Amino acid sequence: MNIPKSGLPRVVIIGGGFGRVALAKKLQNKEVRVVLIDRHNYHTFQLLLYQVSTGGLEPDSIAYPLRKI
């Protein structure tokens, strides 16, 4: 994997759902290097999935790039 080396302890978070994105944000200003791994490169706001399935929203309205978060 193309993960830059740093002298900081590495925290690997598997999954970019609600829980783990919240954890990554909490670690934002800590002395650790966070590596977030997900099978997708975006976070899905699942609560509004029904809006997409019924045509009320476009898919990209409820999916947000994990790198931007």
Ligand X SMILES: Cc1cc2nc3c(=O)[nH]c(=O)nc-3n(C[C@H](O)[C@H](O)[C@H](O)COP(=O)(O)OP(=O)(O)OC[C@H]3O[C@@H](n4cnc5c(N)ncnc54)[C@H](O)[C@@H]3O)c2cc1C
* 4, 28, 47, 68: residue in contact with ligand X (rule CB under 6 A): 47
* 20, 27, 57, 63: residue in contact with ligand X (rule CB under 6 A): 20
Exposed / middle / buried, residue 43 (Cβ in 10 Å: 0-12, 13-18, 19+): buried
Pair type for strands 33-37 and 10-14: parallel
Give the residue among 26, 32, 5 at the shortest CA–CA distance from 69: 26
**65 touching ligand X, by CB under 6 A:** no
Residues of span 25-44 touching ligand X by CB under 6 A: 38-40
Contact footprint for ligand X (CB under 6 A): 15-20, 38-40, 46-47, 49-50
